[in-house]
């Protein structure tokens, strides 16, 4: 007991003597004696912004799943899509001792705690030390891939402050760890193969890392001093203190009385100032906050920005923003994930991979960064862009997949095929011909009627010159060639529609004949649902008609050199409503022919096969004859309507016709 007290007393005396000697030496040199003040001893504990930046990075990384795959590591892989593991040869490992270790690296650390501490030490000291151990806290070497994993039960994170490198003959031979009873590992030397070591590059020390805190310390100290200044100001009721002046030298008792009165006036923060009575000619002078002091407080914002820049953490991630636009915040968060968090993930993957290889030589680990919601939105944007490139420009899927990193399998059956919409086709239009005005021959008539006619001709030409551009429609076979493909397409659609309609009519006809109700007019009317057939036909032709409508406008725009044509939705709707009666007339014609044939067959008492032959004859005529006529008519009407819309949109006020 006496020995313990003696040792304690010597330690206290040594510390006090050292502190007193340091203060005395500073006083003798004329330097200021440190009295505690705003001294930054631990930036992580004392600086708001350092703690926030490190916490933002660590929390974001800790919530990213760490995947384990078995196979040959690819130079580059898309990590988010599970079907990639089959097409690229990688296989996800979801159970086993390695997964259990990564989910619970230490009895005192959860998975979240482990990765949080890894990031924290990298940001505070620029390096990370972890040691694999057994359940009895014995260190396990990682130099035996595929075998050492059976002994690893824990991953202990060590403080870099307690580790010193051992270098011999320009080679790292080990690490000296100086732990104690409060550290996860006892003091001992460690071999390089027994340590999981990662660092941020340091150009000044080959063996140790360089922490961002080294650069951010000055800004953190300045910000901490600013916070302490504001704390003192608020604690003193926003009073910077007072100065008591007097013409006479006060005695010690008088000074104590004045100080006691001043302290009584300012008992604590948040209470009103009490009255003060001074005597002997004493005056109280109150210094005010200067502009320099206010600038000192304003600099806290710049210190915050400087610290965030060093840690590559946007202020929006910390909850500060100077822009009300939400897209700016989303862009900042995406850049934070891609440029800061993803880079640290790569660093930690390389560090922890020897542990995975200790279980199996073919194991490797990777952080699934693409599973984050903001990365999924970024991938959705890539898919939208890739879809436009594939469908509007004819780029094959495999090329788009590699260009935009979509992560799709490389062996899709349609990967090398080119897809284009029908509206994209080569166009060989005629160029607009420049027409020169014909010069009128000079007239010498003096007849009043001739002069009046001449005057009226001049008025007409003047009015024509004041109008907008004039478009002349040329009778050119190239135009018919340009719509030939569309006519063929509609003819095929109509043929398909008539065949399907025939099957529907024959099915109903057979059902009606079996019910023996064919002699009634009601039974004939039920064979053909006119409203349903009209809806099916309009649905069949709608897309093709709108493409023709847009093609006609684009064709006219090219002829007059007016740029790109865009069909407005209201024009498309108006055109379809206008063509609706004509399209319904197609089914009306078909139904009229069917009704005549059915009535004739029923009146003559024909069998089902004979009546069915009549129906097939009607639809054969519709497919072989009417389909081409209808297709040509509808294509011509739609294309010319598009040209008319184009002329109206381009302000073409007059058009002329040329003879063939």
Per-residue pLDDT tens over the stretch 356-386: 999 988 888 989 888 888 888 888 888 888 8
More confident residue, 64 or 508: 64
Kindly state the average pLDDT of the residues 492-510. 85
- Integer Cα distance of 366 and 65 in angstroms: 9
What's the token pair of residue 608? 């089902």
Give rounded-to-5 percent helix, strand, coil for the chain. 60, 10, 35
- Integer Cα distance of 387 and 480 in angstroms: 33
Whether 622 and 491 have beta carbons less than 8 Å apart is answered as no
β pairing state of 66-70 and 363-367: antiparallel
Kindly state the average pLDDT of the residues 440-464. 48
The pLDDT score that the predictor gives to residue 392 is 74
The pLDDT score that the predictor gives to residue 10 is 53
pTM of the entire structure? 0.56
What's the token pair of residue 359? 């279980």
Give the position of tokens 């193969």: 193
Whether 555 and 426 have beta carbons less than 8 Å apart is answered as no
Whether 311 and 216 have beta carbons less than 8 Å apart is answered as yes
More confident residue, 419 or 541: 541
The pLDDT score that the predictor gives to residue 206 is 93
Q: What does the DSSP assignment read for 16-71?
A: HHHHHHHHHHHHHHTPPPP-S-S--S-HHHH-HHHHHHHHHHHHHHHTS-EEEEES
Kindly tell me if the per-residue pLDDT of 34 is higher than 70. Answer: no
> In which region does residue 312 sit, left (phi positive, over 0), alpha (psi from -120 to 50) or beta (all else)?
left
In this structure, what DSSP letter does residue 199 have? E
| Least confident among 240-244, 393-397, 504-508, 624-628 | 240-244
- Integer Cα distance of 16 and 111 in angstroms: 44
Kindly tell me if the per-residue pLDDT of 142 is higher than 60. Answer: yes
Whether 30 and 55 have beta carbons less than 8 Å apart is answered as no
Per-residue pLDDT tens over the stretch 84-97: 544 444 578 888 99
Whether 108 and 186 have beta carbons less than 8 Å apart is answered as no
Greatest extent of the chain over all pairs of C-alpha atoms, in Å: 148
The pLDDT score that the predictor gives to residue 240 is 63
Confidence band of 119 (pLDDT split at 50, 70, 90): very high
Q: For residue 498, give the nearest of 620, 629, 580 by alpha carbon.
A: 620
| Least confident among 56-65, 91-100, 115-124, 468-477 | 468-477
What's the token pair of residue 10? 């010597």
Cα torsion 618, 619, 625, 628 to 10°: value is: 150
Work out the burial of residue 614: count CB atoms within 10 Å of its CB; fewer than 13 is exposed, 13-18 middle, 19 or more buried: middle
Confidence band of 157 (pLDDT split at 50, 70, 90): very high
The pLDDT score that the predictor gives to residue 465 is 42
The pLDDT score that the predictor gives to residue 438 is 45
Task: Spell out the residues 6+ positions from residue 496 whose beta carbon is closer than 8 angstroms to its own.
Answer: 540
Q: Where exactly are the structural domains of the chain?
A: 43-212+337-371, 242-287, 372-420, 470-657
Confidence band of 287 (pLDDT split at 50, 70, 90): low
Confidence band of 225 (pLDDT split at 50, 70, 90): confident
The pLDDT score that the predictor gives to residue 175 is 95
Kindly state the average pLDDT of the residues 628-648. 87
Per-residue pLDDT tens over the stretch 296-345: 667 788 888 899 999 999 988 888 776 656 667 788 888 899 899 999 99
């Amino acid at each position: 007991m006496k020995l313990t007290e003696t040792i304690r007393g010597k330690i206290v005396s040594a510390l006090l003597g050292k502190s007193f000697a340091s203060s005395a030496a500073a006083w003798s040199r004329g330097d200021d004696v440190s009295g505690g003040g705003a001294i930054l001893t631990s930036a992580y504990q004392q600086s708001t912004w350092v703690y926030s930046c490190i916490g933002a990075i660590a929390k974001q990384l800790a919530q990213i799943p760490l995947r384990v795959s078995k196979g040959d590591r690819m130079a580059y892989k898309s990590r988010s899509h599970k079907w990639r593991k089959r097409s690229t040869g990688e296989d996800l490992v979801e159970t086993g001792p390695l997964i259990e270790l990564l989910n619970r690296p230490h009895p005192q650390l959860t998975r979240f705690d482990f990765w949080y501490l890894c990031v924290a030490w990298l940001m505070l000291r620029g390096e990370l030390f972890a040691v694999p151990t057994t359940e009895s806290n014995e260190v396990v070497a990682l130099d035996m891939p595929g075998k050492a994993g059976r002994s690893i039960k824990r991953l202990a994170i060590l403080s870099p402050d307690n580790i010193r490198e051992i270098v011999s003959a320009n080679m790292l031979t080990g690490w000296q760890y100086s732990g104690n009873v409060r550290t996860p590992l006892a003091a001992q030397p460690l071999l390089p193969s027994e340590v999981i070591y990662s660092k941020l590059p340091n150009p000044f020390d080959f063996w140790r890392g360089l922490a961002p805190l080294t650069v951010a310390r000055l800004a953190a100290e300045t910000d901490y001093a600013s916070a302490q200044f504001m704390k003192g100001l608020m604690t003193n009721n926003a009073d910077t203190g007072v100065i008591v002046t007097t013409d006479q030298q006060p005695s010690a008792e008088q000074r104590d009385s004045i100080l006691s009165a001043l302290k009584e006036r300012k008992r604590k923060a948040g209470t009103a100032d009490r009255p003060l009575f001074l005597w002997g000619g004493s005056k109280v002078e109150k210094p005010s906050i200067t502009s320099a002091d206010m600038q000192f407080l304003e600099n806290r914002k710049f210190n915050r920005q400087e610290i965030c820049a060093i840690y590559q953490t946007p202020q929006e991630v910390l909850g500060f923003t100077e822009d009300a636009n939400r897209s700016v915040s989303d862009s900042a968060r995406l850049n934070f994930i891609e440029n800061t968090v993803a880079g640290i993930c790569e660093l930690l993957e390389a560090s922890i991979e020897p542990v995975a290889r200790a279980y199996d030589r073919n194991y490797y680990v990777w952080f699934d960064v693409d599973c984050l919601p903001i990365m999924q939105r970024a991938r959705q944007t890539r898919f939208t862009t890739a879809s436009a490139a594939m469908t509007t420009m004819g780029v094959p899927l495999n090329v788009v997949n590699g260009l935009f990193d979509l992560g799709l399998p490389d062996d899709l059956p349609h990967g090398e095929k080119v897809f284009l919409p029908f509206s994209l086709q080569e166009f060989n239009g005629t160029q607009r011909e420049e027409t020169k005005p014909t010069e009128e021959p000079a007239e010498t008539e003096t007849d009043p009627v001739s002069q009046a006619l001449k005057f009226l001709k001049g008025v007409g030409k003047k009015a024509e010159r004041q109008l907008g551009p004039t478009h002349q429609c040329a009778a050119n076979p190239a135009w018919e060639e340009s719509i030939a493909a569309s006519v063929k397409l509609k003819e095929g659609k109509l043929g398909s529609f008539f065949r399907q309609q025939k099957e529907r009519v024959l099915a109903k006809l057979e059902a009606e004949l079996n019910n023996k109700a064919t002699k009634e007019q009601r039974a004939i009317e039920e064979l053909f649902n006119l409203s349903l057939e009209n809806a099916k036909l309009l649905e069949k032709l709608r897309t093709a008609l709108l493409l023709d409508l847009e093609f006609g406008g684009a064709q006219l725009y090219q002829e007059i050199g007016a740029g790109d044509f865009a069909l407005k939705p209201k024009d498309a709707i108006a055109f379809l409503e206008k063509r609706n009666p004509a399209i319904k007339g197609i089914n009306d014609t078909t139904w009229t022919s069917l009704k005549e044939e059915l009535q004739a067959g029923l009146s003559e008492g024909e069998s089902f096969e004979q009546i069915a032959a009549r129906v097939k004859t009607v639809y054969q005529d519709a497919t072989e004859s009417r389909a081409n006529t209808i297709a040509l008519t509808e294509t011509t009407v739609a294309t010319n309507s598009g040209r008319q819309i184009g002329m109206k949109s381009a302000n073409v006020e007059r058009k002329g016709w040329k003879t063939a």
